[in-house]
Each structure stands twice: as C-alpha cells, then as structure tokens.
Structure 1
C-alpha cells in the first residue's frame, strides 16, 4: 500500500503542493511500519471483531488467555455469527465484540468514499469520487492524507481520492512562536473579527483550567502583545491577511497590525465606490461589453486603467492556478491601491466636468468597468465588502436579474482587447514625471495651493508628444498650474528648478518669486560635486588595465550605461545652475 502511494506521487497522478513536502511523503511511506489500529477510547468506530466462546468456557479472553483462531470479523453481528458457526460447526457459539475502537486516523482515512455510501455503489459515489483537491495542514500529511490515499487505492480499485493536495501554512504569533494558552498568544479569529479589549483577553484566560501562575504569565504576554486589546478588523480583512501571508512556507507569523491595516484599506475601497456614486448618474448605463471598439472610444487614461486591469487579471489568475496566493493578493491590491485609487480616480476628476459629452461618458464607462471587474477580481479574497459594493454600482435591470449577486458573476479573464502597451508606456513616463515633481515640491516646501508652471524637456519626439498629450494628467497629479512640453532647456524660462526624471527627460518647476536663488545654487553646486566624483570614480575603475579582461561583459555594459547617465545628469545640473544664476541676476 505504501509503495503504491509513493508511486502515484512520483508519476504525477497525485500532486503534493508545495512540492517541498514531497520529501516528507517519501520519508514516511518508505520507512513505514505495521500500524496498530485499535484504541482504548470511549468514542470512535467500534472494531467489528468478535471473540468466539464455546460452551463451558469463560469470556476472559484478554491478554494471554485469548486464542487467535477464536476471532472472527464481520460487517454485522449476523455476518460474524455465520462465520463463527462455519468455523465451529455443530457447536453453540457465543460472540463478544472487542471493546476497542478504531484509531481516529483509520476512520478518517475512509472519509473520501465512506461518506458517500460505500460499500454500496451510490450515485454520490459515482459523481463525486475521486475528488479534485484536498486542502489541509502539512502536519497531518502522513497521519491523514497518506492513509486516505492508501485506503482509497486498496478499496476503490486503485483510484487516488483526489488529484492534488494543497498544504497550508501553520499560523503562529507575530514573534514566530507556536500559539499556546500558557503564553497567552492564542488568537481567536472571532476576537480579530469583532475586536476585544485587553481586559476581555484576560477574562478569557480565566475561563480555562490553567494554573494561576500560568494565567499570570499569559496575562503578561497579552499585555505586551496587545496593550490596547485587539482592534475590530472584520472578516474580510482577516481573510485577506491570511491569504496574503500564505507564501507556500511552513509558518505564518500573524501580526494583528497588518490585519488591521487591511481593515483600513477596506475604507479606501468604500471611498472609491462612494466617488463612483457621486460621478455616475443613477440612470448611467455602461457599455454592454468592453471590446476593442469600446476600449478605443475611451480617453487615454481610461485605456490605461483597462490595460492595468487586464494585467492584474492575468497575474491573479496565473498565480491562483499555481496556488501562489500571496502573489495573487499582491496583484489585486496593487491594482486597487496604486492604479485605480492613486492614479485613475485622480486623473478622471477634471474630465467628468468636460464640456465634451463623449469624453465624460468615456471616462465614466472606464470607471464603471474598472470597479466592476476589480470587485469581481477581489471577491474570493474579500467576499462581504465586494458583494456590498458591487450591489451599489448602477447596472441594467436585465443584467441584475440574470446575475443578482457577485457570487454568480463571471470571474474576470484577461482579454487581448484590453491590452494597451503604448498607453502603459506613456502613463509610466507621466507618472515618473509626477513623482519627480512631487519630490521637488516637497523639497522646496510648496503647499498644494502654490500651483506653479511646469516645463518638461524630452530627448525623443515620441516622449515629447506623450507629455503634450498627458499634460492635463501631470498637472492634476502634481498640483501644477500648467504643464508644457518644450523642445530643449533653452526654451525653459529663467527661474526654474530642475527635476531629473531620467537620462532623457527633465522637468522644470517655475520658482521665480518663490525660492531663494542663492540657496538653490548652493544645493546644485554640492550636487554637481557629488555627481562629478561618482563620474570620475567610475571612469577611474573603467580605465584600469585589468578592467577589460577581468570584468564580465554585462557589468561593463552596465558601467557604460551608468557613465552615460551621469554625464547627462551633469549636463542637466549645469543647465540648472545657469538658469538660477540668470534668475539671480534678474532679481
């Protein structure tokens, strides 16, 4: 039986996930020993074995007094009696059932088929055996999983009970310690969902049978870990956190603060839908589908968010197919947090007030699809809030009648019609410009009300055109008065501070009348000196006699690229210094 169980894992008939646990499987089964399946307990399946007593004999068969040949086995008492009468013909026999019960793991090893009417050939057994997936803890891989496999293959014509076994990690506390009542670090899921005070945690300790000294020790541990108790996190946040923690490792060090962070994130989801309700009229009807024609009608930011959604859908599905749940939650979280909420919702705010009806409908349609598909993508990880928010989105009456719940809605799949590589490349450039401008504004202490003019220079016509098309987006996200793409630094007015986006793109913020040119020149001089030193040190290393022969080609290429970048940065700094000197003269 053990050899057969090993073979089905080797040939792929049964897949153990994560694969690192295959070693455990083989170590147990290749060194297997005989198994005593009887237990002296008050509960369990009573062993169907009966001891035969003949006339004039006592029933004291325990220990050395028993005779092995007197034991008979039967599915029922009558079957066992018939076996005994056949073994001792013509004699009056008395049967006494063994008082022991079967080992729990023996009984549970029958679970895949005994629960469906076996040994009878029932419709349920025909429909649902074998199954597809078993999910359990790695600590009972041998005790339960291996025995189910061995018993199923022996009693069900060589069939394995399932195709895959997924072993989840074990939950420990934030310090990596095993949860123990005496340590006071046992986390009740309901306490995380509903929240509990520190006094409530202490009260729970007193409900058990711990020694008073252990209670005192546990209370001290609770005070250290949860000085303010456990905040209310909700079911969705706990579920998302546990899945996000699952990196196919042996343990999860559960930090309640991280769970509560996801509870706070739920507020962001709610606010996104609230924003949608403010900008989507009650009678708004999204496009019946979102194919290539509908995507082409969206504004650039709408095409971008649909493309980002498409990548999130592809990444999530691929990760879930591999049982890589941490990666799937990361993809969903990144889409909602960084693409939808941080960028798209901000970009669409000036567009919904446009005088162009086509632009207004396009951006609203993009928002609706981004939210609808995004909620469906998130639903397996946060089922309750996604159901609530999905129900609030406007939709056609016939669509709602056909699919009244998000649980019945189709799960998103990637579509070639949604892909927009050009839009993503352009938006990546625009967002990088925004990040640099935000850093510059923070550096100079500019407030959101201090809106300045921005000028952007790019080394390529394509990048310049992209900035021109996305000028409104950059201005919106960077709190700028205006954004203008110019041919080169010579076209930039005097009095600007430069922000180097990349080796081929720079952004200038108009600071005339806001900043002190002398102080800015001191900063630029220091930056020029630091960059010059980096450039000189790099060339000094590249000029060494052994450089060409001892340094790998990929490193040499990286050094060349870095040298080019530093040279470009020095030129940009020199331009900025000249601009501030000019501003200083003008003032």
Structure 2
C-alpha cells in the first residue's frame, strides 16, 4: 500500500460488543472528576441555565423523572457543545407533608409519636433521616447521566434558601400581600394540616344524594346534599331571588332537625334554580360557596367537625366520625319522615389529599394566605407580552385559565417539618413579622407562630434562591433568568405559576425563565396511564440495569413531542439498545478499517482556529459520489436536528438521527464503502477520512440524548478524552450536493428492487447470480456498476447466459438475471402458490364482509376501514406473488 492509503492514526480496539454497565459508571466518574459539568460565572461565554425541578427528598427515580431529566440533559449538553456557559443546577425539595409522614411512620413502628418527642427533637430526627436515607434519587440521577453541576447542589431547607424564604415572606407581608384570616380551606383529617387547592386530587366517587325536608306544612322546604352530616352546621337555606316557588318563604325561618335551632331562608343569586329542588342548605363553616353566601348575608359559621373529622356539635351524634355520622343522621331523619328521596349510587367529584389520599374536608380555619391577585396578573402579563414563551403554545390557554382565576393561596401548614412562619405574637396582641437579619422579639409572653409554610412556597423561589438571592451573587448575575424550564404539564399550576409570581416580584419584573417547555405524562405502549392498580408501572432503574441508561433515554426521548403524552414499552427500549449496538459495530468497523478524523496535529490546529468547527483536519478535495452523498445527507441531518431541538421536538430529532445513522450510514454508506476500502488506493484513503468525519459528527449529534456510548465511541475514534465539551456540528453548505443525492437515490432504487426480487425468489443472501444491467448510463450511475453488483451479488454474464427473469426499475434501468440452477423452481412455485391461495382467501373474505350491507351499516367506521386496509394489502400481495410466479423459469 502507498503512504496515502495508510490511516493517519493507530487503530484503537473496541470490545466486540457494547457493555453499558462497564462503560457508564466509569464515564460518569470521569466527567465529574474533570469538572466537565462545572459552570463558571466569570466566563465570557453566553450563559444558559436550567434549574432542575427539585425532586422530593423522599423520592426515587420514576419513569416521569427519567423522561424529564433526559429532556433537560439533552438540552444542556447540546448548549454546552454550542459554546454556552451552561449551568444545570441540582437539588431537592424538603417535601413537608411527605417527609414528615415518613418519619412519623417510623416513630409509630416503635410506639412513639412526634408529640412524645416534642418539636425540636422531632425536627432533629427528620434531619437525621435525611442524612441517612434521603436523597436516594441523587445517586439515581448519576446513573441516568444527568450532567448537573454537583458543586451547586441545593436543598430547600439549606441555610441560604431558608434566608430567601424569610426575606420574601417579610417583603410580601410588609407590602400587604400576606395576611392571616379565617377562611374555608382544604383540610386533611389524616395529615392534620391545611392543603392548597393544587394539593387536592379530585376523582369521581360513588356517593349518595339525599333530599331532606326542613320544616313542616306550607313552610316546608326540601334541600339535597351529598354530605348529610354537615346539616348540623347549617345556618340558612338559600334559594334564587327569581324562583317563584320560594318567594313566599324568603325572610321566614325553618327548624333545623335535631338542633332546636331555627334558620332563615335567604335569597342569593349563587343558587341554581334548575338543580335539584332549587333550594340549598348553607353551611358556611364547611363549604367554600356556602361561606361566600354566609358572608353576603351575615350568617354565623358553626364548625361542627374537629380536625380529625369527628362531630363536635352537641347532640346524639357527638363523637362520631364524619363517615359514621352520615348513615346515622340519614337513619334518624328517615325515622322522622324527613327523607324525601335517596339516590344511590350518586357519582360526584370528591377531593382527596394528594399525599395520603384521605377525603379532604372543607373547613373554616384561621390560616395565612398570599393575596395572589397582583402577583397572578404580573405572571399572566409576562406570557402575554412575550417575556416568557410557553411551548407548545396551545398550552398557554391552560396557564391563563389558572392565573386569571387564581384564588388566594393558603400557605400555612400545621406541620413541624418546614420553614416556620416568621411571625411572633406578643402578650398584648402584638403581631411582628421578622426578617432574616432581624432579632425576634424577646420577653415573657412572646411566641412564634406554630405553623410552617407550604412546600410550594420555597419551591417558588427555586430559580433565584438557588443562585444566592437575596444576595446579588455572580451566579445570579450570570445565570438569571434561566433559559428554559422543562416540566410536565401536570404541574403547570402547582409550580410554574408560583415561580412566575415570586420571580417577577422578587427580581423587579425579570422573569425566572425565558421558555416553559411542557411535556406530557409517560404512558404504556397502549396509551394507558401507568398505575399500580393496572400493573403497568415501569421502573426505569430496571430498564437501565437490563438495557443501559442510553437505551432508556433514547426510547423516552424518541416518544417525546411538546405537550403530548409519551407512550413507551420494553420492546422500544430493546430497540434503542439495538441502536446503540449498531453504532458500536459501525464505529468498530471504522476503526478496524483505519477510519480517521485527521492527525492529532490537524485536530489541534482546527480547535485553536475555530471552536465552532469540527476540531479535525480538512476533508480530501477529491471525493467519490458516494462520499459526497453521505456528507450532503449529514448536512441535512444537522439542519433538521437543530430545528427540532430548538422547537423541543425531541421525538423528531431522535427519529432523524436514528434513520440517518441506521439507514444512511450503516445500511448504505458502510456497505458502499466496504468494496472501496478493500480495493485500496486514493479512494480508500478518502473513504476512511469521510467515514471518520461522518461518525465523528454523528456521535456529537447523538451525544446529548445517549451520552455514554457516544462518549466511549468518540474517544476511541478520535483518541481524545471526551466529547462533552467538543463543538456541536454546524451545517457546511459547501457540502450540500443535490446531484450526488440524486445519483445515489438512483443507485439505491436499483439495489432495493433487485434485493426485493431476490427475496421473493427465495435466493440466499450470499448466492451469486449472473446478470446484465442496462440503462445505467441514462440513470447517471454507470460508474457504480461494480458497486451495484457487489451489493446484490450479481456476476458478469458468461457466454451461456440466458435471461430467465427481468427486474425493471424506475428511471429506465433493467436488470436481466439468469436464475437457472439458482433456485429450486418447483419448490419455489409450490411455496408461492400456497402463499397466493392464502392471499386470495383473505381478499375473498374481506370482499364478502364489505359486500354485506348489514355489516357495513352496523359496524363502526374504524372497523370497516380496517377491513378495507386488509383487502388493499391482500390485493397488493396477489400482484406481487403473480409477478414472482411469472418470473420463474419454465
């Protein structure tokens, strides 16, 4: 071989097969140890930052996390390669209710309660639990490949973040945006705390609708309720002012059974006269709508259930649990003849605690609230005026529906684990809110508020508190506002709106992020919600153990479209693993055949001269049409992937990369290159260089989504340390070659049609057949005849050549083949005849169904459409088989 035929670098050996477990831990440790993920606020590079949605300290990596983190990691890795100073900031949420429940259960197992310990000792016990058992998910994030800056890890109860919480509470309080009042709130009788609206999960449950007669004779009025036990706290009956049926009763009183109290009949426009009897019982202390009616009419509010849902009203039902009291009261009313109607089952919406699933009880309670009106308006304006973009745009209407109709936010929780409300009460009724740099009041009789803040209160500060706010730190100056928030659409209200409100308020109108990129929920392959009760819940750690982190990531990302749910199955993860293996084998082939990315000296010079380039030496000036074709396809792929990434269309980006890698590179270019590489000479040298370049660029493009295998392969290919901070590929318009693409498309059509013919005739893949090819010059592919013959195992025609079969390809190419002796004609004819009979039977059955008016009139449209599709497929199969039979030699 001449000098030009030799690779410029020594070949590097790769193992025969990819072993994810051997690569992943080693690669991740190398990344972290080298500081590959560290952010530098002093850098002159443009900033790009993401703050991770902080998982609960009690949590572990579930399939939703795996999707969310894969998307974020893909974004941040690409931005890092594009030359941005990137920060992906990790951390955890203290998860007030969830964490307190965990520790309380541990104490209960030993016969102890938090009250036995006392507040200070209990909180210390939670900190001990956090140190020993909390944060499991952080290690699992490493397994997934999260390229976060671990030096900046945060926790919502850290000293710095606690200072931020106290600071913003004080500011909001001083501005009149935090207040304390008696209001109807959602109460969990199990967790013994108030809940915000977004911590309540609603479901349609079976219940009963009971109609009760209040009063007797002409003054009687019938009301209907699903919560009979609350009648003990009724302080009025309400009707619509225009309801003629009850006008004579408005202003009168009726006797409330069991209580000895007489309650007024009031007129209120809130009442729907068309629902039920048109009259409703009013229980201001146990229903939010009733509370508003009570406020308008000056009605008293009687709390008749205690914090555990036990009846406190004096009388025969005192001491009963709410669900015990309900049937007891119904039975007592029935005995009095006051039950007018009972409807069972009656399906209605019931709220449940999102943590423990206990039925929530609306309850009048003294709590702390945020006045959200001005904050929510600012949050809506930031999206309307374009400071913040929601992707996909159609989900913006959900955001507006929430922020434009937001109720005041109940922020106090009756817990011990969390940020304690920084308010002190004095012996003479004084109320003092204390800032982080102020001393709380001292002296006898002063006490701090017992409640803690809603977990979402501190999470709402996450984009700026984690960067050092309220101090004006270098991190805050460099990385705020963050570039994008990636999260599921299911917490658009929980978290996104709250971060918008507090970010705009604390940061003088500067939004916490420029883009909100929303993705959907992960579902099974049939689109069904994952649930333990359905038995279809997937553990991503199991998939990572069996198929590797890259395969898990690629399967999830390939199903992710903006705002849409993601269907995934084990088979798709297996397919993603096969894809990783395909890349491994292609790179291994390239290395064994001397593929190059330029000499080390050329690469160093390229890196010094232009970071945005490929960090490799120049490509050869003399290139074959095949080389020009793959380089042109590469440019189109880079452009497509860039567009899809910018639009958060990860499924399309992965699909484009998959087909370029598998189809263009592996199935076509590598196969086309094999005979060239084997022949040697200048063409082989150029081919090695182009193959190395294409794989170099492909591995860079794939790295954000499948970082482990690409880093291992890229390092072997280039003999450099890591691709993590290498330049992202850019389109080189000079390499776009439409003529080469058209030429290779013609070649591919010929090869594909001949391969299809061979398969139809039952020819073995390695079996060679004599053939003549005509029309190649007219199709502009005459120069590729030897390649075509190599790819489809066609020999030159000998003197005794006889064309027994012909393949005609669009574009005017004809391939005549001599199949004598190549196939068992009788066996092949028998096989095809059998297949034809089966296809004819299928077609006849479909025609019979479609010709039956009784069937087509009654069957669903999609069923009829499927029968039509089956008929079309069967008829196409008949055409194919007939052509194959005709092509058989006599």
Q: Tell me if both proteins adopt one fold, taking TM over 0.5 as the criterion.
A: yes
**1:369 counterpart residue number:** 693
**1:499 counterpart residue number:** 807
- Asked if 1:240 is matched to 2:554, the reply is yes
Q: 1:11 to 1:456 in 2, by over 3 A?
A: farther
- 1:329 corresponds to which of 654, 669, 682: 654
- 2:816 corresponds to which of 508, 516, 520: 508
Q: CA deviation at 1:329?
A: 0.5
Give the secondary-structure state (helix, strand or coil) at the position aligned to 1:159.
Answer: coil
**2:788 counterpart residue number:** 474
Counterpart Cα distance in 1 of 2:438 and 2:649 = 53
- Assess if the C-alpha contact under 8 Å between 2:420 and 2:451 holds in 1: yes
- Assess if the C-alpha contact under 8 Å between 1:169 and 1:250 holds in 2: yes
Q: 1:145 to 1:449 in 2, by over 3 A?
A: closer
Counterpart Cα distance in 2 of 1:103 and 1:394 = 52
Counterpart Cα distance in 2 of 1:346 and 1:81 = 81
- 1:45 corresponds to which of 415, 419, 425: 419
- Assess if the C-alpha contact under 8 Å between 2:598 and 2:617 holds in 1: no
- 2:589 corresponds to which of 275, 286, 301: 275
Counterpart Cα distance in 2 of 1:283 and 1:502 = 38
- 1:149 corresponds to which of 500, 506, 512: 500
- Assess if the C-alpha contact under 8 Å between 1:316 and 1:331 holds in 2: yes
Aligned length: 456
**1:297 counterpart residue number:** 622
- Assess if the C-alpha contact under 8 Å between 2:645 and 2:653 holds in 1: yes
- 2:761 corresponds to which of 444, 455, 458: 444
- Asked if 1:263 is matched to 2:577, the reply is yes
Counterpart Cα distance in 2 of 1:519 and 1:191 = 47
Q: 1:116 to 1:366 in 2, by over 3 A?
A: closer
TM-score, L = length of structure 2: 0.47
Q: 1:518 to 1:41 in 2, by over 3 A?
A: closer
Q: 1:283 to 1:364 in 2, by over 3 A?
A: closer
Q: 1:506 to 1:520 in 2, by over 3 A?
A: farther
**Within-5 A mapping of 1:503-542:** 504-512=812-820, 514=822
- Assess if the C-alpha contact under 8 Å between 1:456 and 1:483 holds in 2: no
**1:31 counterpart residue number:** 405
- Assess if the C-alpha contact under 8 Å between 1:471 and 1:482 holds in 2: no
**2:175 counterpart residue number:** none
Q: CA deviation at 1:373?
A: 1.2
- Asked if 1:174 is matched to 2:525, the reply is yes
Counterpart Cα distance in 2 of 1:281 and 1:123 = 45
**1:8 counterpart residue number:** 382
Give the secondary-structure state (helix, strand or coil) at the position aligned to 2:724.
Answer: helix
Counterpart Cα distance in 1 of 2:824 and 2:524 = 53
Q: 1:520 to 1:74 in 2, by over 3 A?
A: closer
Counterpart Cα distance in 2 of 1:121 and 1:359 = 60
**1:74 counterpart residue number:** 434
Q: Which moved more, 1:17-26 or 1:120-129?
A: 120-129
| Cα deviations by residue, 1:512-536 (Å, 9 ceiling, x for unpaired) | 555799999999xxx9xxxxxxxxx
- 1:422 corresponds to which of 714, 717, 739: 739
Could you say which structure has the greater relative contact order, defined with CA pairs below 8 angstroms and 6 or more residues apart? 2
- Assess if the C-alpha contact under 8 Å between 1:475 and 1:483 holds in 2: no
- Assess if the C-alpha contact under 8 Å between 1:474 and 1:483 holds in 2: no
- Asked if 1:136 is matched to 2:487, the reply is yes
Counterpart Cα distance in 1 of 2:441 and 2:678 = 89
Q: 1:497 to 1:153 in 2, by over 3 A?
A: same
Give the secondary-structure state (helix, strand or coil) at the position aligned to 1:350.
Answer: helix
**Within-5 A mapping of 1:56-75:** 70-75=430-435
- 2:637 corresponds to which of 302, 312, 332: 312
More helix by share: 1
Q: CA deviation at 1:475?
A: 1.4
Q: CA deviation at 1:14?
A: 0.2
Q: CA deviation at 1:181?
A: 3.3
TM-score, L = length of structure 1: 0.71
Counterpart Cα distance in 2 of 1:394 and 1:51 = 68
Counterpart Cα distance in 1 of 2:619 and 2:488 = 47
Q: CA deviation at 1:240?
A: 0.7
- Asked if 1:382 is matched to 2:706, the reply is yes
Counterpart Cα distance in 1 of 2:435 and 2:597 = 67
| Cα deviations by residue, 1:21-43 (Å, 9 ceiling, x for unpaired) | 11110110111111111111121
**Within-5 A mapping of 1:178-217:** 178-194=529-545
Q: 1:493 to 1:503 in 2, by over 3 A?
A: farther
RMSD (Å), alpha carbons:
3.4
Q: 1:173 to 1:293 in 2, by over 3 A?
A: closer
Q: 1:22 to 1:284 in 2, by over 3 A?
A: closer
Q: CA deviation at 1:53?
A: 0.9
- 1:98 corresponds to which of 440, 449, 464: 449
| Cα deviations by residue, 1:345-400 (Å, 9 ceiling, x for unpaired) | 11111111225x211201111111111111111111111111111121255xxxx3
Q: Which runs of 5+ in 1 are unaligned?
A: 55-66, 83-91, 195-231, 485-491, 528-568
Q: CA deviation at 1:266?
A: 1.7
Give the secondary-structure state (helix, strand or coil) at the position aligned to 2:547.
Answer: coil
- Asked if 1:117 is matched to 2:468, the reply is yes
Q: CA deviation at 1:142?
A: 1.4
**1:17 counterpart residue number:** 391
| Cα deviations by residue, 1:423-481 (Å, 9 ceiling, x for unpaired) | 111111111111110111112222234322333444x9541x32x11112211221212
Counterpart Cα distance in 1 of 2:585 and 2:471 = 56
| Cα deviations by residue, 1:106-145 (Å, 9 ceiling, x for unpaired) | 1111122222332232332222221111111211111111
Q: CA deviation at 1:293?
A: 7.9
Counterpart Cα distance in 2 of 1:309 and 1:295 = 16
Q: 1:167 to 1:483 in 2, by over 3 A?
A: farther
Q: 1:392 to 1:292 in 2, by over 3 A?
A: closer
Give the secondary-structure state (helix, strand or coil) at the position aligned to 1:53.
Answer: coil
Counterpart Cα distance in 1 of 2:532 and 2:510 = 42
- Assess if the C-alpha contact under 8 Å between 1:472 and 1:483 holds in 2: no
Q: CA deviation at 1:501?
A: 1.8
More strand by share: 2
- Assess if the C-alpha contact under 8 Å between 2:550 and 2:705 holds in 1: yes
Q: CA deviation at 1:242?
A: 0.8
